[in-house]
Amino acid sequence: MRRAAALGALALFLSACQQPVQASEKPVEAPAPKRVADEGKGLQTAIFAGGCFWGVEGVFSHVKGVTSAISGYHGGNGKNADYAAVSGGRTGHAEAVKVTYNPEIVRYDQLLRIFFSVIADPTTLNYQGPDHGTQYRSALVPLDAEQRKVAAAYLAQIKASGVWHKPIVTRIEAYRAFYPAEAHHQDFMAAHPRHPYIVQWDAPKVKALKRIFPGMYRAGFVTG
């Protein structure tokens, strides 16, 4: 029984996002958005791709107003929307997170600012941190016309801001079907807070969220 448990833990470790091999990423305080999202009342949903979905999900799960953050795959088809296939980098998918939020508490433009401040580096093409491949590209996937306008305006704003010294390569992608990832990838940071990848790469992002955006930070982790 112990041997089986140990083998299961090893399999989880080896099938994870790339193992940490260098120092953690540094957060950047992105500029306040000039274009404010006009989203009205009622829950809204958006999709973000920014490297390993554990960290994207983990940070958004600590943002006030977010009611759900689900890890999954976007940009390919359902036939090969699974971790083993997507990890090969040849399916067209990106590891992504579908975020549901209450715009009366946190707007889409504010989520964009958080995304570029503490989650994803918009200057790295097809990689984030130790994770390399098209499946780890950074992309915004608006789900309606207002989100698309806000996303386009903010990308233009950060390109002109001078905050980053390299070209901004994050793109806006048209929505294709979103496929939730396997159950063991959901709420991964909450379930495995001592996983080496989480400790080195993702826990610092949550700390940065708390430090840079204390009014938007929520100590509890919203699951599901």
Domain CATH for 151:
3.30.1060.10
With the C-alpha atoms ordered 221, 33, 99, 165, is the resulting torsion angle positive or negative? negative
Chain position carrying tokens 């396997």: 182
Q: Is residue 125 part of a domain?
A: yes
52 is a catalytic site residue: yes
Q: Is residue 26 part of a domain?
A: no
- Structural domain count, the chain: 1
Q: What is the pLDDT along the chain (224 residues), one digit of tens a residue?
A: 444 333 344 444 444 576 554 545 789 999 999 999 999 999 999 999 999 999 999 999 999 999 999 999 999 999 999 999 999 999 999 999 999 999 999 999 999 999 999 999 999 999 999 999 999 999 999 999 999 999 999 999 999 999 999 999 999 999 999 999 999 999 999 999 999 999 999 999 999 999 999 999 999 999 98
Q: Is residue 72 part of a domain?
A: yes
Candidate list 17, 47, 52, 118, residue with the active-site label: 52
94 vs 71: CA distance, rounded Å: 11
Total-model pTM: 0.91
Q: Is residue 151 part of a domain?
A: yes
Q: Phi and psi for 85 in degrees, rounded to 5?
A: -75, -45
The domain of 49 spans 41-212
